[in-house]
Structure 1
Amino acid sequence: MKQYINLDESKTFAEKPNDVQQLINITLSILESFGIPTEGTPRRLERMALAFLACGDIKDKNDFSKVRDLNSGYALKTREIINYVNKHFYEKISSGSYDDIRRKDLKLLTIAEIVLQSSPNSATNDSTRGYSINPTYAELIRSYGITNWETMVSERLKNSEPLSRKLKRERTIRKVIVTLPSGGELSFSAGEHNDLQKAIIEEFLPRYGYGAEVLYVGDTSDKYLYLEAERLKELNFFEISHDELPDVIAYSKDKNWLYLIEAVHSSGPISEIRLLQLHQLTEKCTAEIIYVTAFLNRQKFRQFVADIAWETEVWIADNSDHLIHFNGDKFLGPYNKR
């Protein structure tokens, strides 16, 4: 089974008995099958799993088959959830942090309606409101462990959009194949930086490249992993041996756009200084320049957001259907919700 929380990632998790650790990982597996995203911090995932178990009166693996739900009249208030997890799961959560249960531990579960409120029309801060498992999901939980359980869950929930997908807000975007003029394949060395460059070629350019062909790719162990020097020369691109080369260069003939893309893992976003350098180096280029900084995930983006230059684009690989535009001459206006 997938380990959602490892012993070295959470002190509170490591201090729990093996059977409780296993129960938490099983619970997170179930919630992921229900469409709950599991990319949070280890402690946040642990707290969410424990709150869920309390809402279903589940103390060990055997209780999955007899999980209690809202129809059974079972519901716990936020302070009661704290008491439950402290008593059964070796926690020491302060009773004064009861708002954290509602605002953090149960937030995704209630948005996804896996956990329901006993009095949904009551005030937000109503201390008498309880929380319990949605009977629809409780029925699925009771059959957990049977053969092809995940297939059954997918079939039962096929008409419900998973919360994980809603949060990513995937869009239907026509993809255009990214071409390597040589027809060959690129073989990157191992590492997150090169994983990101691979994603740029396979995910970013098909979405936003307008038929772009890759003209240059640098690798952490090979500066000129792929190079179309003659094509770049035709565009009056600056001397290819220059130290200021971006990580990926691609050209869309349809748009006459040249993409200069930085893949940021530990350094190197397109900052104001970097943008100024690239402006100077490409001043004779016959194509219009698109400046893009790419990140693997939002956490990495947050580390560098203050350094990103205006009038450039940001792309995040784990939310590949969206771009972040840093100002420029584009208009402000509403988006179509669809």
Structure 2
Amino acid sequence: MDKIKEAQIILKELGLPKLQQNEISALTLLALCNIKEKDNWKDSTKNSLGVSKGIMQFISDVYDKEYAPNTRETVRRFVLHQFVQARIADYNPDIPDLPVNSPRAHYALSIEALSVIKTYNTKEWEAETKKFRESIGNLSKKYAKNKAVHRVPVKLPNGKTLNLSSGKHNEVQAAIVEQFLPEFAKDSELLYLGDTEQKDLHLDDKTMLKIGIPIDQHSKLPDVVLFDRKKNWLYLIEAVTSHGPVSPKRVVELEELLKDCSAGKVYVTAFPSFKEFKKWSSEIAWETEIWICEMPSHMIHFNGDRFMGPR
């Protein structure tokens, strides 16, 4: 029996759904195990591999299977995500706090899966796979608990705490809510807060609908949206670490998106550091505001005619 078919059997016995028992899933497992056609499964090793230059390259070089470049996203979403959920693989085991979209993202066999896979075609195989399947529930809970350590907690004005996924971007978002809001947007309500993993982590759709913000297009909103009812001001805040600053193009896009919203719009770009601000300064739109996490009690206004005059 060839190695691809054997890998499919292994995936089935480890409890993977049928969709994750296909050829690309089998090849992904072979890459993670570093198993070639004539190798024995007992020689499997734990290797940390990225998707394109690791897994896809192995599949091409060793098994002569060529996939289109966009297949890497399919592998990520419909193979590796399920491998992680089933505790067959670990995500970023070498650097657990990598940002979600980091180019250094990698996957590796879990120690538990490696131990079981090494017994394939031996008398221990049946007992080991049974033990693995029975323990998945407990391992999943343990994994979820470990992942929670790397979350970014953010306390909302109402006292509720949300846990954002790890990474510099969400650290900036947390600072916006916990530092910018009480300093420069006191008494404002948090209408929208996205997350790199869950785009609508916090969404006050009732208020948004009431003031004319289309709730079916929140993916087009900036990272954080605050609303001051007394002033009727809408703070539209971009964390530069996502898609850059509030640029002239972004202002036009948001003006079009919010054309039915009568609230006064305050455009803000949040930066983690002054160094990062200098890097993006040429792309920032005039008549917008700058807030820097490392200088939380100060603001920079781009253009001065609204504030021109003696102090």
TM-score by length of 2: 0.48
TM-score by length of 1: 0.44
Report which of the two has the higher share of helix: 2
